């Protein structure tokens, strides 16, 4: 895997962690049953394909729209966001909202305006949002 793709995976994983620590705490599970540690979802590359590792099921889910997302436990809107993340990781191009929802700019996430702004600003800082 090339260095730029690795940097984009790290950036998206930092964004996922940032989102998991605020507001509705998407992508976060309180405790792992085995270790007792808090668990956050993340993206990874395996065999040159992008996967999402679910915080609840611990399953690797092939992160491409149009494919089964069995093992994904976070709902369709978050699945669309994960697919947008996957496009960004693979291409480096802005992909926010291309999978059929309003993206991180949407007002439908249920966060306070302040938290939503924090998430958007962070996503801009790492280069995910324009």
**Where exactly are the structural domains of the chain?**
3-125
According to the model, what pLDDT value does residue 33 have?
A: 65
pLDDT at 26 over 80: yes
- Residue-wise pLDDT for 70-105, tens only, equals 888 877 889 999 999 999 999 999 888 888 788 999
Greater confidence (130 vs 60) lies with 60
Q: What is the mean pLDDT of residues 55-75?
A: 85
pLDDT at 32 over 70: no
Q: What is the mean pLDDT of residues 101-119?
A: 91
User: What average pLDDT does the structure give for the chain?
Assistant: 89
Q: CA 78 to CA 130: how far, in whole Å? A: 20
Greater confidence (70 vs 117) lies with 117
Q: CA 78 to CA 92: how far, in whole Å? A: 20
Instruction: Please state, as a whole number, how many other Cβ atoms lie within 10 Å of the Cβ of residue 104.
Output: 20
pLDDT at 69 over 90: no
Predicted TM-score (pTM) of this structure:
0.90
């Amino acid at each position: 895997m090339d260095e730029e793709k690795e940097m984009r995976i790290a950036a998206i994983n930092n964004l996922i962690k940032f989102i998991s620590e605020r507001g509705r705490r998407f992508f976060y599970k309180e405790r792992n049953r085995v270790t007792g540690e808090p668990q956050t979802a993340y993206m990874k590359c395996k065999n040159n394909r992008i996967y999402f590792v679910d915080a609840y099921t611990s399953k690797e889910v092939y992160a491409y729209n149009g494919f089964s997302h069995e093992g994904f436990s976070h709902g369709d809107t978050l699945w669309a966001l994960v697919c947008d993340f996957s496009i960004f990781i693979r291409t480096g191009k802005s992909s926010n909202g291309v999978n059929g929802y309003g993206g991180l700019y949407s007002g439908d996430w249920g966060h306070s305006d302040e938290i939503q702004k924090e998430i958007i600003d962070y996503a801009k800082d790492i280069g995910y949002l324009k």
